[in-house]
Structure 1
Amino acid sequence: MLSIWNYRIIQRYENSLGRLSFVYVRKKTKWIKNIFVALVILSVLWMLTITLFFIKEEITGHSAYYPIWMLYMIFCYVFLFLGIKHLNKVSGSVTNLEDPIQKKITNFQLSGLDHVFSERELQLVHSNPISITGILSYFATSLFDKNKRDDVLLDIVENCISQLQLQECSIYMICKENKTLIPKAIYSNKNNCEIIKRKKQIPIPIGEGTLGKVVQLEKYQCVENLSVIIGDNEKYITRRSKLSVPIFIRKKVVGVLDAEHDEKAYFKSHHIALFLLIAKLTEIKLSQINTNTNPVVLTNITNDNAYFKELDFLMKEEKIYVDPNLGLENISKRLQISSNYLSQLINKLGGCNFSDYINSYRVEEVKSKLKDPDYDNYTVLGIAMECGFNSKSPFYSAFKKHTGVSPKEYRQQQQIMS
């Protein structure tokens, strides 16, 4: 019973981290599941031992097992207590809405979406701002350089799989000639999260099934249990939950964004809100392509760009540059935007490439410490390592590029001036 109780706690913890990647959640809980398996095996062995006592009456000396059994029960309770404490600590650090830094980052993301959505649409975001704004930011920036309809549709469904941990996502577009919905982009998440592109799909007549109903009613449909609709032939059912959202262009339905999951009643209110906004992003991008306007509708790169302000905040306040393993991919995940968009952002607003941008902050940090008397006993290379550089040669090159002198010469100049 204790083992099952522990396993339920693990499941609740994993569900609370639904906005994170599946691989991350599995990694965070693997050690707990290993202990859970050990507890189950021990429980089975104890059950077999007790059964043996009842079957063979000649076996005596049961009392010798009682202290061991008590220790086992104490171990179970200790594990239960430490497990709950650990999960609450980690979960709290991830989802703590009162964290001032996270609040500021969320405000940056919201301001980045202000020009994309109306005030009424952004009300959907406020129901769960940290989760939804991060996902929307990634979707919007990922679409930034997509200029063909098929590229846009494929990007949307692929991001739904990678960012939302769904089993399957698809976009169907309306064919006016024969009044059917034609599948244009379908991705399925199977076999340890491998994304599989599926091509040969059957058109769906408008008016039939859940997708046809979305087109007719011009309203989303959320099905909690597909088996209720399909009937008793459950062997043909591949998914349990379904969420279908209309895609509009000029207030007319042109397609349907469809998502499916194995769990019954999987899609909740925040999923519906998020998919309505993703459908809106799709509408904006498709409208832009249809009218041949410049590709700056979703995420303009201007001096007041909210994502660049967020990056500047992280560099100055959190000093993320001191991490020697910091890379474009790391920062883009932290900002929850695409790495390609981040690269263009730094090139245009930072006026340099990614490496020079990060090193400029590291060099400034080195300069600050070289001026500080508290670091007089540190070697120049030791200070450089503490500021994020991971080897001597790149540090000396970056320092001279940004200051015009070597680190040793700079330190001597500061000592003379002081």
Structure 2
Amino acid sequence: MLRLKIFIICIIISWLLSNIGLHLFNSEYAINFLWILLSFLSWWILYYGVFKLQIVVQKDEIHQYLVSKKTNGTQTKKKINDTTVSKIITQLYTIMDQEELYKNPLLSRLDLATRLGTNERYLSQIINQELNKNIVQFVNEYRIEAAKNLLHNPIFNKYSVEAIGMEVGFKSKSAFYNTFKTYLGMSPGAFRKLQKTS
């Protein structure tokens, strides 16, 4: 939406500049230059729009495939053997594994707390005490694990890394790349290439 607004503003500015150039310089060169600039800007916006649309379509295809197969193979189940783990943490693992809440890019601490029947502060505290991480780290671990499984699976080789990132719950390409690199020390593309060679 922001890019659309910028595009519209650029069109208006180009139109104003072409009128000013026509009256001030009385030259067709200024007008032609402005129209060429506008053409490049239009091409860039259209290209970017098509690219983004392809990513969304690919994300939907991945999602439909996973739903149709009903495979839980995209996420390895967490084993909870520790008897000191609280009921809240056990429930949290259960809903994350079964309902795949991490795939919601808008998932918040409040959403998780509400789903578990507790408050945000207590949920944050218990995750921090028992798992030594915060909620964002906890959710991102699920997302990264799901992304690793999709990137490793040859069925998904035809899909872009960005589409896979969206499918597992990341809001943007940069968030996916940064988080993936933080956890694994390499980009998702490098991970995919490494999996293909091994």
Q: Out of 271, 287, 308, which is 2:89 matched to?
A: 308
Please give the secondary structure, in 2, of the residue aligned with 1:352: coil
SS of 1:398's partner is helix
**Residue equivalent to 2:103:** 322
Structure 1 counterpart of 2:162, one-letter code: L
Q: CA deviation at 1:345?
A: 1.3
Deviations 1:217-274, CA, capped at 9 Å, x for gaps: xxxxxxxxxxxxxxxxxxxxxxxxxxxxxxxxxxxxxxxxxxxxxxxxxxxxxxxxxx
- Give distance in 2, aligned partners of 1:415 and 1:340: 43
Which amino acid in the other structure matches residue 319 of structure 1? E
Q: Does 1:397 align with 2:178?
A: yes
Larger relative CO (CA 8 A, sep 6+): 1 or 2?
2
The structure number with the bigger radius of gyration is 1
1:316: how far off? Answer: 1.4
Quote the residue 1:382 is aligned against. 163
Q: Which runs of structure 2 are paired with 1:164-183 in the superposition (5 Å)?
A: none
- Equivalent positions of 1:36-185 (< 5 A) are none
Regions of 4+ moved over 3 Å: none
Q: For 2:88 and 2:97, locate their aligned partners in 1 and report how far apart those are by CA, in whole Å.
A: 14
What is the TM-score normalised by the length of structure 1?
0.27
Q: How many residues align?
A: 116
Shift of 1:353: 1.4
| Cα distance in 1 for residues equivalent to 2:91 and 2:140 | 18
Q: 1:337-371 deviations in whole A, cap 9, x for unaligned? A: 01100001111122111111111100000000001
Query: Which has a greater percent of strand?
Result: 1
Are positions 1:365 and 2:146 aligned together? yes
CA distance in 2, matches of 1:333, 1:353: 17
1:336 correspondence with 2:117: yes
Q: Alpha-carbon deviations, 1:275-305, whole Å to 9, x = none?
A: xxxxxxxxxxxxxxxxxxxxxxxxxxx8320
Q: Which residue of 1 aligns with 2:193?
A: 412
Residue in structure 2 matched with residue 12 of structure 1 by the alignment: none
Superposition map of 1:258-297 within 5 A: none
Q: Is the 8 A contact 2:85 2:130 kept in 1?
A: no
Q: Which amino acid aligns with 2:141?
A: S
Q: Which runs of 5+ in 1 are unaligned?
A: 1-301
**What SS is found at the alignment partner of 1:333?**
helix
Identity over aligned residues, as a percent? Answer: 36
CA distance in 2, matches of 1:360, 1:392: 17
Give TM-score, length-normalised by structure 2. 0.57
Given that residues 92 and 116 in structure 2 are in contact (C-alpha distance below 8 angstroms), is that contact kept between their aligned partners in structure 1? yes
Per-residue CA distance 1:368-411 (angstroms, 9 max, x = gap) = 00011111111001000000001011111110111111111100
More helix by share: 2
Residues 62-118 of structure 1, C-alpha deviations (whole Å, 9 max, x = no match): xxxxxxxxxxxxxxxxxxxxxxxxxxxxxxxxxxxxxxxxxxxxxxxxxxxxxxxxx
Distance 1:345 1:355 in 2: 14
3-state SS in 1 of match to 2:150: helix
